[in-house]
Structure 1
Amino acid sequence: MPQLNPSPWLFIFLLSWSMLLLVLKTKTLQLTPHNTPSLPNQQTLATAPWNWPWI
């Protein structure tokens, strides 16, 4: 069964994955995020209780 012989396609498979990961890694590391992370707002807002009309 020739499909079980890894000789012809294993090298091509590994080479293509390594090139793909190499290209994608360099492309994704060059990207900058659109929203820079910032610290959350530490102010607490004053809340008022709701007046439910059916209670």
Structure 2
Amino acid sequence: MPQLNPAPWFTILALSWMIFLAIIPSLVMAHTFPNEPSTVNAEKAKTKTWDWPW
């Protein structure tokens, strides 16, 4: 059964993890958003209490 021979599968596993750890993070970090987030006002909005009808 060729599945029990770890030689080709371990190499494929190691190379795929090297791709995930070396190449893909740089591609993800290079992504830019179309709308840059703006700073949120630190002042909380004042809300009124709601009177229950009973």
TM-score band by shorter chain is 0.5 to 0.7
CA RMSD of aligned residues (A): 2.5
How many residues align? The count is 52
The structure that has the greater radius of gyration is 1
Q: Which runs of 5+ in 1 are unaligned?
A: none
Deviation at 1:37, TM superposition (A): 4.7
TM-score by length of 1: 0.53
Q: Structure 1 37/5 Cα, relative in aligned 2: closer, same or farther at 3 Å?
A: farther
Q: Which runs of 5+ in 2 are unaligned?
A: none
| Structure 1 segments (4+ residues) deviating >4 Å | none
TM-score by length of 2: 0.54
Corresponding residue of 2:27: 27
